[in-house]
Amino acid sequence: MTLARKRLADSLLNHYLPLYFPEIARYWESTRVEWFVAFLARFPTPRAIRALSLPELIQAAWPLIGRKVNKRAKLKELYELAQSSIALPVAVDSPAIGTFRF
């Protein structure tokens, strides 16, 4: 299990995030990685977040975030991060994102 978690971390932090959503890497926490992975599976690129308004994002992502004290502030922060991201402009339905979700 530990090896699988390490491989997931290496894959996300070294290969996927630098290209498709580099700013979100700072939210990786080894103790609470479940919400991070669930959020990335639903919103893999900044474009997926920008496709929604802030209230729509809050509604869609609320159950993904878990037991955060201030979920609304965290989601607002992620929304603002997506607005200024330097990520590659990849469509959400692209083969690269499909491979990532698989």
Q: What is the pLDDT of residue 51?
A: 92
**Paired tokens of 79:** 């929304």
The residue among 25 and 83 whose pLDDT is bigger is 83
The residue among 36 and 5 whose pLDDT is bigger is 36
Mean of pLDDT over the chain: 84
Kindly list the distances between the CA atom of residue 66 and the CA atoms of 22, 52, 91, 96, in Å, as whole numbers in the listed order. 22, 20, 27, 27
Whether this prediction's pTM lies above 0.95 is answered by no
Give the whole-angstrom CA distance, residue 48 versus residue 98. Answer: 13
Query: What letter represents residue 56's amino acid?
Result: E
Asked whether 42 and 64 are in contact (CB, 8 A), the reply is yes
Q: What is the pLDDT of residue 43?
A: 92
Roughly what angle, to the nearest 10 degrees, separates helices 54-65 and 33-42?
140
Kindly list the distances between the CA atom of residue 69 and the CA atoms of 65, 72, 75, 90, in Å, as whole numbers in the listed order. 10, 9, 12, 32
Confidence of residue 16 (pLDDT cuts 50, 70, 90): confident
User: Does 8 have pLDDT greater than 90?
Assistant: no
Residue showing tokens 């402009």: 89
Q: What is the pLDDT of residue 76?
A: 93
